[in-house]
Amino acid sequence: MKTVDTFNFAGRKALVRVDFNVPLDENFQITDDTRLKAVLPTIKKILNDGGSAILMSHLGRPKAGPEEKSSLKHLISYLKEAYKTEIKFASDCIGEDAVKLAAQLQPKEILLLENLRFYKEEEKGDLAFSEKLSKLGDVYVNDAFGTAHRAHASTAVIAQFFKDKVCGYVMQAEIENAQKVLDKADKPYTAIMGGSKVSDKILIIETLLGKVDNLIIAGGMAYTFFKALGGTVGTSLLQEDQIPTALKVIEIAKQKGVNLILPVDNIIAKEFSNDSERKVNSGIQIPDGWMGLDIGPESIKIFSEVIEKSKTVLWNGPTGVFEFPNFAKGTFSVAEAVVRATKAGAFSLIGGGDSASAINNLGFGNDVSYVSTGGGALLEYMEGKALPGVAALEA
């Protein structure tokens, strides 16, 4: 696989698939710029070599063509400031506007294309659409690890139209850091699996059971485990059909000598609301009419002690509904424990999505070893699945 470091972009027009799928507030202001910052080194390398960069991405989930809230034009002012240069913008990613602007692009200039998903052909992996896109540049760079698990037009299909296919810095770093926790992890190795659904994480959990010393289960997932162990969950999130899966995980952990750690207490609430009546509830018996929305103080203490003694830490998924301040303490406490472990010499990988948001919102982004920009892609890579976006660069 060619990498950005090994390729000279002088005089070349690089068509770069980036992941600019960032959250915007109601005023179209960026609320988390992690993904935008991550791709800066790749773009700067292209420009410093004397090449030009044509950036393509999706944003949001537009259902039927163009829509204001999903337009990439909202990112122009941020990018202009970040790159200290003018950002040219094509209002249609394959229209006459795009073709003309790409043709006129000079070395060290940047062109941003409008949202790829304004065309349904993008997600369908349409060949004709891919070919039209490919004509805008003469070298293809993929630096969008967050979409590498999708066989979309811009992430995989398009690569066949290029002789030169290059892996960007983000993609390269994601793969290398994932390999560290898959194959080269120092012991003790702790994985923290949070989030809402057992079904979303079961494949990665099964993979990790053969590698980790400690597996912490938290978030909404934990309540399915409570039920599997004979507990009650009140109105907490529960995947009844995943109870056999939870029992299987418990059994495999025993067989492999993995320390499986569940919350010993929870912050429970009457309603799914930040302002709901709430209290600490010990054990795995949550009363009727109450739901678990975060881990409790004793669980925080136990989780933190395990994390801080680790040499490798993988964290994917919050321990509770951290969007609600009253139920965010568990997630933020885990983040602080991961930072302390890292400062003590551990390698820590934060697995994208909500975990990355929590780490970044706390200002800890630079205090852990690596924050992944790809939630689903990272999970699929660690599950051992071939990622179309990576495979296309190797072909």
Q: Where do the DSSP E strands lie in 172-228?
A: 189-193, 214-217
Is position 289 annotated as part of the catalytic site? Answer: no
Residue (of 349, 385, 332, 340) closest to 212 by Cα position: 349
Q: Both tokens of residue 266?
A: 């929870």
What is the residue whose two structure tokens read 């799914």?
Answer: 272
Active site residue 125: no
CA atoms within 13 A on the CB side of 177: 25
Point out the catalytic residue in the list 35, 88, 227, 329. Answer: 35
Say which of 73, 197, 270, 309 is annotated catalytic. 197
Q: Is 150 helix (H, G, I), strand (E, B) or coil?
A: coil
Place of tokens 């690089």: 14
**Which residue type is seen at 380?**
E
Query: Token match 């094509």: residue?
Result: 90
Structure tokens belonging to residue 378: 């990272």
Contact present, 234 and 268 (Cβ < 8 Å): yes
Nearest alpha carbon to residue 182 among 367, 3, 365, 349: 349
* Residue 35 is a catalytic residue: yes
CA 19 to chain centre: 10
DSSP letter at 121 equals H
Q: Is 356 helix (H, G, I), strand (E, B) or coil?
A: helix
For the question of residue 353 being annotated catalytic, the response is: yes
- 299-337: string of b/e by CB count within 10 Å (b at 16+)? bbebbbebbbebbbbbbbbbbbbbebebbbbbbbbbbbb
Select which of 353, 374, 375, 389 is catalytic.
Answer: 353
Q: Active-site residue numbers?
A: 35, 197, 353, 376
